[in-house]
Amino acid sequence: MHLKAGGLWREEDGAVAEDESSPVAELSKSLGRQKLYREVTLALRSGLRDACADLSFLRLRALRNLLKFLRSVSESDPAIRLFQQSQSSTDLQVVPVLYEHTLAKPKEVHVPDLDHIYSVEPLQITSPATDGEVALALRVLEGCCILHKESRNLAHKHGGVKVLLNILSTRGVLEQGACLDAIVSLMLESPANQMDFEAGHGIHKVAELIKDTQVNENIRLKCGEFLLLLVGHVLPSASRHSAAMFDGHNGRDKHPLASAEEDLRHLLGEKCASLIWAASQFGSTLDLEQRQTALQIHASRVLNSLELYSEWD
């Protein structure tokens, strides 16, 4: 569902546009906000209802609609604020539904003994999540965490990065690419998710993928992008929160991922790690499209440096 900008309450009417402080203008703005809030809540309720369905095709359809909704929300500051407000209401929260219905491990279906087959209630079959469904859920998760910081905390309560690292290690190419993007969005300004990534040996798992020449080339490039974003964006956010992470044993501040640089040098070699550190500061003066292009170029260079200089075990 796309949100309609302004709708019936566009400021095309000269009487309203002339004096924004007039009672009529204030009423118009209030009605516009109410209409926008109804559209936001309607889109969320309808999407979340089907996202909880037992059948995968219904969940898939719901996730497509939720992703489309989040993209439309991102184009409007008022819509972003309303979405953020909506996530304080338990029945409108998106992230828990994603983890409980699509990203959760498939449940085993218990089949009763044949002797008692006629004395039990009919089985309620829940179809497992398809590759496309998991990938879409990861994109929706990424969007929620970018638009709403508290969604990262909600994700942490439901396994957060731990679940995503399992997906990264066990699912296919489609899910792996979306998973790497989602992990970055979860870790930004979130020490809890950063610690989960560290505890789950996340850097090691990404390094294994990028070093494995049998892995899909696009996924290896995506791993290069991930490492650049990790160093350039996630680690600075971890440092900013270091005051809250006090190491009482040695009397100094310690933040999540503090050993990331050393880990990368050990796993990928000195030259590749140095390239990642040097290239991770790109894009401060570039627009979004230019930053994405620069990210892809630098990721390709990281991959080339591995192929040229790394010593394989």
Residue 225 or residue 251, greater confidence: 225
pLDDT digits (tens, 9 = 90+) for 259-280: 998 999 999 999 899 999 988 8
User: Would you state the pLDDT for residue 99?
Assistant: 97
Is the predicted pLDDT of residue 83 greater than 60, yes or no? yes
Q: What is the number of H-type helices and E-type strands within the chain?
A: 16, 2
Provide the CA 40 distance to its chain's centre, in angstroms: 20
Is the predicted pLDDT of residue 301 greater than 80, yes or no? yes
Q: What superfamily does domain 29-105+129-200 belong to in CATH?
A: Leucine-rich Repeat Variant (1.25.10.10)
Q: Region 89-103: what's the mean pLDDT?
A: 96
As a whole-number percent, the residues of the chain with pLDDT over 70 amount to 75
245, 254 contact by CB (below 8 A):
yes
- CB-count burial class (<10 Å; 0-12, 13-18, 19+) for 168: buried
Q: Region 69-90: what's the mean pLDDT?
A: 93
User: Would you state the pLDDT for residue 254?
Assistant: 66
Residue 74 or residue 112, greater confidence: 74
Spatial neighbors of 57 by CB under 8 A, at least 6 apart, are: 127
Residue 203 or residue 12, greater confidence: 203
What is the band of 122 on the pLDDT scale with cuts at 50, 70, 90?
low
Domain parsing of the chain, residue ranges: 29-105+129-200, 201-246+253-313
Is the predicted pLDDT of residue 23 greater than 70, yes or no? no
Provide the CA 286 distance to its chain's centre, in angstroms: 23
pLDDT digits (tens, 9 = 90+) for 41-56: 999 999 999 999 999 9
User: Would you state the pLDDT for residue 10?
Assistant: 35
State how far the Cα of 297 lies from the Cα of 274, in Å rounded to an integer. 16
User: Would you state the pLDDT for residue 280?
Assistant: 81
Beta strand 252-253 with 246-247: parallel, antiparallel or unpaired? antiparallel
Is the predicted pLDDT of residue 227 greater than 60, yes or no? yes
Place of tokens 């974003």: 229
Is the predicted pLDDT of residue 25 greater than 70, yes or no? no
What is the band of 5 on the pLDDT scale with cuts at 50, 70, 90?
very low
State how far the Cα of 257 lies from the Cα of 55, in Å rounded to an integer. 39
